[in-house]
Amino acid sequence: MATGKKQAAGLSKFLSLVLRHKPEEIGLVLDAQGWASVDDLLEKAAAHGTVFTRDDLGHVVATSEKKRFSLSEDGRRIRAAQGHSVEVDLGLVPVVPPDVLYHGTAGRFLEAILAEGLKPGARQYVHLSPDVQTARAVGMRHGSPVILRVAAGALNRAGHPFFQAENGVWLTGPVPASFLERVA
């Protein structure tokens, strides 16, 4: 597979599927921390019709703006940085978040969010952004974006743990509506 922009995007989507949501689609096994053998990934992906090289994989990991994937120091294992719907323990330790974080979503979800709060849905955590621009980019993936300000500091002081993934995304459990405010 050549690693042009379009091919890299396709490989990134494939990796998201098998490293975050459905490793069983290709018979891949993730360990408890979400790691998979690169050799197994290459072999099982090829057996299911998605052929790419170790260099293609390294290119996607190194050049992805969102830094969704991590290679182990020895380059033998790979995992998604966050966003899992399969249960994994990324080994993240709770950290004190900034007072304010942001969440980007589509306008069609706003009424439910303001009534019920933010929920992880199929994922393990709610994903929050450090700034409005990042939240807007996330929200645009789902339609016309709406940006919510999250009172992360207050939520943390109320006993809700926060984590920060390797790629800078903030993670937490459900966010009650009382900690949310629409900003855009």
* Count of structural domains, the chain: 2
> Is 90 exceeded by the pLDDT of residue 80?
yes
Residue the block writes with tokens 């990991």: 61
pTM of the model: 0.77
111/178 same-domain check? yes
Query: Among 48, 38, 50, which residue's Cα sits nearest to residue 1?
Result: 50
124-147 confidence digits (pLDDT tens): 899 999 999 999 998 998 788 999
At residue 2, the pLDDT reads 47
73/144 same-domain check? no
In a domain, 106, yes or no: yes
CA–centroid distance for 80 within its chain: 7
Residues of the chain with pLDDT > 70, as a percent, come to 97
In a domain, 85, yes or no: no
75/105 same-domain check? no
List % helix, strand, coil for the chain (3-state, nearest 5).
35, 20, 45
Indicate the Cα dihedral angle 60, 62, 68, 74, nearest 10°: 100
Q: What are the residues whose beta carbons fall under 8 Å from the beta carbon of 46, sequence distance 6 or more?
A: none
Which tokens in the block code for residue 28?
A: 């891949």
> H-helix or E-strand containing 152?
helix 152-157
Segments forming the whole domain that contains residue 68:
5-80
In a domain, 93, yes or no: no
